[in-house]
Structure 1
Amino acid sequence: MALYTVFGGRGFIGSEIVNQLNALGHTVNVPKRGDNAIFESDLGIVIYCSGVGDCKNTPFSVLEANVSLLAQILQQAKFERLLYVSSTRVYMNQALSSEHENLTVCVDDNRRLFNLTKLVAEELCLKSGRNVSIVRPSNVYGVALNSPLFLPAITRNAINHRKVDMYIPKGYAKDYVSVEDVAFCCITIASSEQCDNQIINIAAGYNITAQQIADMLQKHTQCEIVWHEIDFPNEVFPPTDIALISHIIPNYSPKNVLADLQEMIVEFTKVLSIN
């Protein structure tokens, strides 16, 4: 069994990583914000999934969480290996999405600070001289009943109110990956020295449209879908290349978001019928 230190271990992805590590019998440390003890003791294997994405309201927090603390850890902390959780959002409006493609920062992207900080953090990791790996998860979803995330929220609305308001175009498409799959891959990659100095996508490998999600909700709840016409930003995501993660984990078989959505509907309906 090994020692793991999970930065961001109380967040959405981090808490699932911590749960899986505990189930495997590992020793897990989840430092609190501002804990300077992280520079005094051995951190073992570090998984860095601390991050902030609100570029409009907290730009300096985005920089601090995505880059500044990481830079301190890379320079000062004692650890065996570090895995940094980046994002496939860096592929937005790109033609391709393999880990070695050239990347463009879009001038009309109001969250470009997020992309920039992720790319700076990745480069710091690679230039640090430490044993590091970088993962780029796609849009991570969970099936928890009380989650505020997009899929659980619209599922609750479909069942409770028989109506779902959609503020995205019908053809808006993204790759969705289960938080359970992301956590499993992060643990596998973080514990393997063969993955040192690599950037690795974690995704389903195909996009799902808003229309497909709406159709699933409508089919199983008979809800009304209301499409709102808004000035939607220019966001197009190519299907995420998963060739590398499929090579690293030969039995990699990510969950399907539509199948999980159907399961979510069934579970939500059971709970609501009991209450």
Structure 2
Amino acid sequence: MDFTRLTKEQRKSFDCDGFLVVANALSRQEVAGLTEITDNKARAFLDKHDVPSRAEYNQLDLRPGLLKYPATIDLVTKGTTVPLVAQLLSPNIHLHSTALIYKRPSDPDLPPMRRGWHRDIRIPRDLGHKNLPRVGIKVCYCLTDFHEKDSGLTLLARGSQELNGPLIIPEGKVDPQGIEICDLKLNAGDAFLFDNRIYHTASPNRSNRVSKVLMFGYAYRWMKQEVYLDNPDQKSLRRYDPVTRQLLGEYTDIDTPAWALQAWARKNKVNPEPVPWHVEA
């Protein structure tokens, strides 16, 4: 995996905001190649009749079957984004989830869409909201431009990864009060990373084109991968480099050190300091 160093400014921004934009994460050629793949995967959705009056009908959230192509396997170790994830979490990570999200245009005159504000990886259900740890990061790759408000990109509640409770949404409203809602303006080929703890939600697409994104989520190896993640089998994994094999789940024993990314981190001088079990007093 190529190396991109996480700057102090980027770390501070991610820690403060809960997300980080990476401009030009994909080349134009990569965007075109990935779009050809994802359009084929989404063909049945794209061929449906338009129902502009129902925003929920116009969204595709496809999760299985996204790791069957060389171009999507390449994203697993994308050098512009994944090294940043490894530095924000640690080398002890794997690919946790994948998602293809397409949204067709909805009627711009409809009232605001009912949101689904949430945090990822579902840990609040078991641990509550207070003092949640950062255990995962998603990378969202834009395959279309997002230049206007309500053009289909995920909405982010800036800084909400630090909240110790649920969002407060006034009765009759769809968005929380007292917090900044970010509807990012990005170009095709840009990406953004976001913390599993940040509150986010789907938004309607009120533009005149289909919005298209790919999301790859990473988490610590002791977090079980999503059940729909279709990793290559062990025989197929042998054709890939060690870092790719680690991220695709080759090391299923979490007590076995994450040798591949640890070696990568040491080589690039970003290996985290070890955490001892005990110290002499």
Larger helix percent: 1
**TM-score, normalization by structure 2:** 0.22
**TM-score, normalization by structure 1:** 0.22
